[in-house]
């Protein structure tokens, strides 16, 4: 069995050394402290994330508004271009027809 490049024998050696250094009674207390520390770390991390999201909410709102404005502007521009192209096609078709009529 290997765990993070540590074999089973090395894990047993580490456990024995920890037992000798700290004693069997203090290990559960150390585990509880470690667990409390992890909980505090998670709380702090989630609080920082919440603060970041709250502080950037206005920026995200502004970005979304700009996106909407750009999208509507691009759509209007596309419509105008399509209208002009269609108008040019109609004019060109009329000119081609008049030239054909003159030739015949």
User: Does 102 fall in a domain?
Assistant: no
Mind listing the pLDDT tens digit for each residue in 42-62?
999 999 999 999 989 989 999
- pLDDT exceeds cutoff 80 at 63: yes
Segment holding 3, helix H or strand E? strand 2-3
HEC-encoded secondary structure of 44-98: HHHHHHHHHHHHHHHHHHHHHHHHHHHHHHHHHHHHHHHHHHHHHHHHHHHHHHH
Domain membership flag for residue 81:
no
Q: What is the pLDDT of residues 23-43, one digit of tens each?
A: 878 888 888 998 999 999 999
Q: Would you say residue 20 lies in a domain? A: yes
CA 69 to chain centre: 22
- The answer to whether position 98 is within a domain reads no
Residue 8 lies in a domain: yes
pTM of model > 0.85: no
- Host domain of residue 53: 2-74
Residue 56 lies in a domain: yes
In a domain, 54, yes or no: yes
**Domain membership flag for residue 50:** yes
Number of H helices, E strands in the chain: 2, 2
Residue in the block written with tokens 């920082």? 48
Domain count for the chain, please give it: 1
Strands 2-3 and 6-7: antiparallel
């Amino acid at each position: 069995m290997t765990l993070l490049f540590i074999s089973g024998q090395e894990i047993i050696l580490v456990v024995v050394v920890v037992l000798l250094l700290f004693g069997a009674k203090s290990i559960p207390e150390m585990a509880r402290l470690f667990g409390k520390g992890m909980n505090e770390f998670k709380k702090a991390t989630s609080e920082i994330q919440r603060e970041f999201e709250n502080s950037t909410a206005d920026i995200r709102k502004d970005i979304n508004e700009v996106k909407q404005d750009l999208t509507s502007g691009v759509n209007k521009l596309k419509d105008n271009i399509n209208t002009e192209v269609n108008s040019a096609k109609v004019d060109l078709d009329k000119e081609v027809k008049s030239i054909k009529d003159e030739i015949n």
